[in-house]
Amino acid sequence: MRSTISIALLVLLPLISKTTFSQSQSEKPFRRYSPESWRHINTFEPDIRAIEQTINSSGFYFTLWTERNEPQHGYPYHSGVIKGVSDTASYRFGFYNRTGNNFSLASQLPETWCYPVFYEPSVDPSKSLPIGDTSLYEWRFERWNGAGRKVPAPVSIQNKEALYTVMVFSYWGLPEGAWSILGKKSVYAPTTLDTWPITSGGVVWITEPKELADTLNAYAACFWRAMGRENYTAAATWVNNILTRNPSSIVGYRLKADRAYECDSAAVFAALDSVIAIGQRWGDPVMPGATTENDIWAAWRMDMINFAVYEKWYWAQNHKQPNW
């Protein structure tokens, strides 16, 4: 994930008013904020011709991509990967099968097939050494994911299939700085397995906490890690930590709603009401005020409000969270 502003966002941002976008409750909102669009890191650009050749060829490939550094519903301009608070980040491996045959995963351990390596973001990995071996950092397999949820391990990868049920891994212990993450084939992988030309999943940056928003985003990252592990008690604890540090945190109430979807209708509505009220009055002290809010913050704030409005309507109609 390169942190560049999409063309759509560049077109839309100058048109965004700093007042709340008007929508009916049943109108699915258009997302205006692109996470990490504010981040600019000079990264190595691979040869697009090599990518096209691989797409058109046959074989069994894996690819890797990172989770966002900025946690879902986190504050803009701040990472969630913070030294001493939450320096654990995640990446995912997926597989592509164009061999002409189904590939059985019976008696296989695909979580041992690949591992992460890290480079300076701007260097060509084919001509450079990684920052160190796995003694410098640690990593582990977490779970299989499908449609954003934990799922059982698949039994096979069908021919002509991109396996969108992916393996999720965590890694930690990297030094402070920005690092490009790539996937490397291990000695345990099938001989037929190869790497996708773009094996880089983007850039992770490890920072020191300098502002309250850094710490709150780190707590939000811990919240999502707990939710991914289905540890809802721990997830609730991280939400409480956010709201203890900042009782008017729009992020805290947004995550409180995400947690409440697992258990409590009244809590969902109360948390979403708080998101709307705080956003409409610029009531979170971490956020800029009405006169100092730039286009990035305005797009993010309006997304928080408009999606909360829509989710309240959707939950009342369907008693479940929308599938975004």
Q: What CATH number is given to the structural domain containing 143?
A: 2.60.40
Please give the residue range of the domain that contains residue 263: 7-37+210-318
CB atoms within 10 A of CB 167: 22
Q: Are 298 and 200 in a shared domain?
A: no
pLDDT at 269: 93
Q: How many domains does the chain have?
A: 2
Condensed to tens digits (0 to 9), the pLDDT of residues 276-309 reads 999 999 999 999 999 999 999 999 999 999 999 9
pLDDT at 254: 97
**In this structure, which amino acid lies at residue 85?**
V
The secondary structure element, H or E, covering residue 92 is: strand 89-97
Q: Are 202 and 217 in a shared domain?
A: no
Q: Are 118 and 82 in a shared domain?
A: yes
List the chain residues with pLDDT less than 50.
Answer: 1-22
184, with CB counted inside 10 A (0-12, 13-18, 19+), is middle
Q: Which two tokens stand for residue 256?
A: 């409180």
CB-based contact 274:253 (threshold 8 Å): yes
Fill in the DSSP letter of residue 118: E
Q: Are 81 and 184 in a shared domain?
A: yes
Q: Are 148 and 177 in a shared domain?
A: yes
Q: Are 183 and 169 in a shared domain?
A: yes
Domain end (from 206, 225, 249): 206
Q: Are 33 and 52 in a shared domain?
A: no
CB-based contact 164:31 (threshold 8 Å): no
In degrees rounded to 5, what are phi and psi of residue 312?
-60, -45
SS3 for 251? helix
Domain end (from 172, 189, 206): 206
Q: Strands 193-195 and 60-66, how do they pair?
A: parallel
pLDDT at 249: 98
Q: In sequence order, which residues have a C-beta less than 8 Å from that of residue 234 and are 6 or more positions away?
A: 222, 226
pLDDT at 162: 66
Q: Are 255 and 229 in a shared domain?
A: yes
